[in-house]
Amino acid sequence: MKDHLSAIFFLEACLISFTNLNLALIHKHIFSFISHLFRGV
């Protein structure tokens, strides 16, 4: 039972870090896109 819970916690931690990584990448893309728009003006 304890191993099962630790496995779930491990999976959740991986999922959270993966989501944070994706959010950081998306934020970087949006920022570069906006700065590109401002440069084009």
What pLDDT sits at residue 3?
Answer: 87
**DSSP one-letter string for the chain:** -HHHHHHHHHHHHHHHHHHHHHHHHHHHHHHHHHHHHHHH-
Q: What confidence tier does 2 reach under pLDDT thresholds 50, 70, 90? A: confident
Domain boundary assignment for the chain: 1-40
Residue scoring higher pLDDT (2 or 5): 5
CA atoms within 13 A on the CB side of 28: 6
Which residue carries 């916690």 as its tokens? 9
Q: Report residue 19 as tokens.
A: 């989501």
Q: Report residue 36 as tokens.
A: 């590109």
What pLDDT sits at residue 36?
Answer: 92
Q: Count of CB atoms within 10 A of residue 9's CB?
A: 10
Q: Per-residue pLDDT tens for 7-40?
A: 999 999 999 999 999 999 999 999 999 999 989 8
